Amino acid sequence: MKFFVDTAEIDEIRELQATGLLDGVTTNPSLVAKSGRDFKEVIAEICDVVDGPVSAEVAATDYDGMVAEGNVLRKIAENVAIKVPLTVDGLKACKYFRDHDTMVNVTLCFSANQALLAAKVGATFISPFIGRLDDINLPGMDLIADIRTIYDNYAFTTEILAASIRSANHVSEAALAGADVATIPASVIRKMYDHPLTDKGLAAFVKDWKSTGQSII
């Protein structure tokens, strides 16, 4: 499974890039607003740090506006993926950008039917929102599994990008359900390291090593 980090904070991205775990980045208008910085400058800086796809979302909701904004964004760097909403105009814009050899992340997916439409127009990524479905008592992980079955049935190449990840358990569950990618808040990625038995075992090893009085160096 590929790991994308869901943030517009460049320091978080640099930290995770240094671990070797990071395969890409997703951003959205809310994350950029939180950073307080110029949108295009943020995307350019992220693309300099990360070799993998960097999702940059259009603000327009109509086809012409999405195409105009996307054409600006895709010129920032070759690894920009234009992020469009799963609407009729968004799907039309997806086809336009795919016809122009640009990666597209179709976002705000909440049903298997929507995911099927995105694959039909050649989306690079489809972003089903697990957490938001869970919030309204619908099983978000079931949607990942359904999309996986549909895509495998017809050999669609669109990658399933599990989004709205709320916990470390969400990540492993999405992997088990067949997601190709998970876009994860930096705080959740850090929680994936943690396990009390790891901490306990390491503390015992450190104590025993000190008791030997030895030094490796």
Q: What is the pLDDT of residues 179-206, one digit of tens each?
A: 999 999 999 999 999 999 999 999 999 9
- What CATH number is given for 2-212 in this structure? 3.20.20.70
Per-position DSSP letters for 172-211, written without gaps between them: HHHHHHT-SEEEE-HHHHHHHH--HHHHHHHHHHHHHHHH
Query: What pLDDT, on a 0 to 100 scale, did the predictor assign at position 216?
Result: 93
Length of the chain: 217
Per-position DSSP letters for 84-146, written without gaps between them: EESSHHHHHHHHHHHHTT-EEEEEEE-SHHHHHHHHHTT-SEEEEBHHHHHHTT--HHHHHHH
Q: What's the CA angle centered on 125, arms 86 and 13, to 5 degrees? A: 110
Residue 214 scores a pLDDT above 90: yes
pLDDT band at 36 (very low <50, low <70, confident <90, very high): confident
Query: What is the average per-residue pLDDT within 95-118?
Result: 98
pLDDT tens per residue across span 39-71: 999 999 999 999 999 999 999 999 999 999 999
129: left (phi over 0), alpha (psi -120 to 50) or beta: beta
Instruction: Give this prediction's pTM.
Output: 0.94
Query: What is the overall mean pLDDT for the chain?
Result: 96
Which listed residue (2, 34, 75, 83) is catalytic? 83
Q: What percent of the chain has pLDDT over 70?
A: 100
Which residues are CB-contacts of 20 (< 8 A; sequence separation ≥ 6)? none
Query: What is the average per-residue pLDDT within 136-156?
Result: 97
Residue 163 scores a pLDDT above 90: yes
Q: Is 92 a catalytic residue?
A: no
* Domain-wise residue ranges, the chain: 2-212
Q: What residues pair up with 109 in beta bridges, in sequence order?
A: 128
Whether the CB-CB separation of 46 and 24 falls below 8 Å is answered with no
